[in-house]
Amino acid sequence: MKKQKTEIKTEIIAGITTFFAMAYILVLNPQILGAAGMPIDALFTATALAAGIGCILMGVISNRPLAVASGMGINAYFAYTLVISLGITWQVALATAFISSLFILLVAISNIDISRAVPESFKNSLIAALGIFLVFIGMQSMHFVVANPATLISLGDITSTATLVGILGFFLTAILVVKNVKGALFVGMMLTTLIAILIGFSNLPTEIFSLPPSPEPLFFKMDLSSALKLSMIPIIFALFLVTFFDCVGTNIALLTKAGYLKKDGQVSGFRQTLISDGLNGILSSIFGTSNQVTYLESASGIESGGRTGVTAIVVGVLFLCSLFFFPIIKSIPSEAVAPVVIIVGLLMLSSINKVTFLDSAETLSSLLMVVTIPLTYSISYGIAAGSITFVILKLVLGKNTDIQPAMYFIAFLSVLDLVGAI
């Protein structure tokens, strides 16, 4: 902590902020995976246990302020594509999650240095892209933007109570931020929740303490024998690609934001965070939930000053505590979390000024990624668009020496990812 110019109080506040920014997963993940026929009560316990132990592992192994939990989007792919669409059982789907996470672990411990292979402009534009993505997610959560059949999205009903609570929370939190109040994001979120309760928009929890449901219906229920059939290879590979690119993109962006980008272009601690993601994906499938990934909401803790693994460990402890205090966590409305997500996203946009505009190949590929991630609602598709464009343009210019072997690897996997999406 001394090396990173932080202290235990700051790390704890950062951990608390990150936890409440991503606590929604405790509610949403069981709902989404429940559509696949999995027991919802056990899913809550599995989600909390996997995230709690996973965050602690991330903190210990990588010593970085990154938190993990079941990935949003990946859980929908798990439930609606693998189980409902393709008709495989959730037990087989859990086995595919186990195997795909094992592949991520193998890539992480190999000699493929992916973080060094990614150009600096690419890394910084990725931060900006994720910033826009977070702003979009936050605005959706507070219903500031809504679906529109004519224009895809449009302004929501800003007179609705939900949106007004979100808008009030945004200005309240933004004022705390510009006044440099310590833990402004967390304080703003709590004050917004209190206001929501006082005006009757959100209810006080009916109880404080409850014992967690048993995880037994899901624990170690993977059907590995069925998942190891040849017909399952495309499914496993697709899940690997989606999870892998999610982890790679998020880890590089967040570590760069946290100040771990070295002068030689290497992101310090990246390999350890990817190893942790692989291990945590294996862990989550054993507990009975979909692949875990590093959460974008970790940026909330980073913005609050979190710089070490202590932040992640605090998040993990709170996830484990949430097993017994879920009624309180459930009382925090998404409209109170949304302003924090939006502000963090806006602050991340400042990274765009570090993109070099002297190299047209890097400029075009980087900016293409910036717009693709939020517009496709996918980190993996954004990385695919950027990496493939980068490789093609560099080859056309005859600057193949600018392309590291790992960048070819990322572009190759990106092609396979896009082909699988067709």
- Predicted confidence (pLDDT) per residue in 280-297, tens digit: 999 999 999 999 999 988
Q: Please say if the pLDDT value at position 72 is more than 80.
A: no
**Residue 116 confidence class, pLDDT cut points 50, 70, 90:** low
Q: Please say if the pLDDT value at position 196 is more than 60.
A: yes
Dihedral-angle region of residue 63 (phi above 0 means left; psi in -120 to 50 means alpha; beta otherwise) = left
- Span 18-31, average pLDDT: 84
Cβ contact 402:392 at 8 Å: no
Q: Kindly give, in sequence order, each residue whose CB lies less than 8 Å from that of residue 56, ignoring residues fewer than 6 positions away.
A: 312, 313, 316, 317
Cβ contact 408:391 at 8 Å: yes
Going by C-alpha positions, the residue among 68, 33, 36, 40 that lies closest to residue 54 is 68
Round to whole Å and give the CA distance between 411 and 334. Answer: 36
**Residue 422 confidence class, pLDDT cut points 50, 70, 90:** low
10 Å CB burial of residue 264 (0-12, 13-18, 19+) is exposed
Among 107-121, 281-295, 312-326, the range scoring the smallest mean pLDDT is 107-121
**Residue 104 confidence class, pLDDT cut points 50, 70, 90:** very high
pLDDT of res. 298: 92
Q: Kindly give, in sequence order, each residue whose CB lies less than 8 Å from that of residue 148, ignoring residues fewer than 6 positions away.
A: 154
Cβ contact 199:317 at 8 Å: no
Is the pTM higher than 0.85? The answer reads no
Element (H, E) at 318: helix 309-322
- Predicted confidence (pLDDT) per residue in 48-69, tens digit: 999 999 999 999 999 999 999 9
More confident residue, 138 or 284: 284
pLDDT of res. 115: 60
**Cβ atoms within 10 Å of 338's Cβ, excluding its own:** 30
Going by C-alpha positions, the residue among 32, 99, 5, 15 that lies closest to residue 313 is 15
Q: Please say if the pLDDT value at position 243 is more than 90.
A: no
Fill in the amino acid letter for 188: G
Q: Kindly give, in sequence order, each residue whose CB lies less than 8 Å from that of residue 394, ignoring residues fewer than 6 positions away.
A: 361, 400, 402, 403
pLDDT of res. 238: 76
pLDDT of res. 225: 93
pLDDT of res. 165: 93
| Residue 233, CB-side half-sphere exposure with 13 Å CA sphere | 3
Q: Please say if the pLDDT value at position 333 is more than 80.
A: yes
Most confident of 164-173, 319-328, 342-351: 164-173
- Span 193-210, average pLDDT: 86
Among 255-264, 332-341, 413-422, the range scoring the smallest mean pLDDT is 413-422
More confident residue, 186 or 96: 96
Q: Which residue has the tokens 């979120």?
A: 189
Round to whole Å and give the CA distance between 89 and 235. Answer: 13
Q: Kindly give, in sequence order, each residue whose CB lies less than 8 Å from that of residue 382, ignoring residues fewer than 6 positions away.
A: 126, 129, 249, 369, 370, 372, 373, 376
Q: How far is CA 84 from CA 79, 228, 284, in A?
A: 6, 20, 20
Structure tokens at 73: 């989007």
Q: Please say if the pLDDT value at position 202 is more than 60.
A: yes
Cβ contact 238:101 at 8 Å: no
Cβ contact 115:357 at 8 Å: no
Specify which residues 293 forms β-bridges with: 69
- Span 298-323, average pLDDT: 93
**Cβ atoms within 10 Å of 163's Cβ, excluding its own:** 21
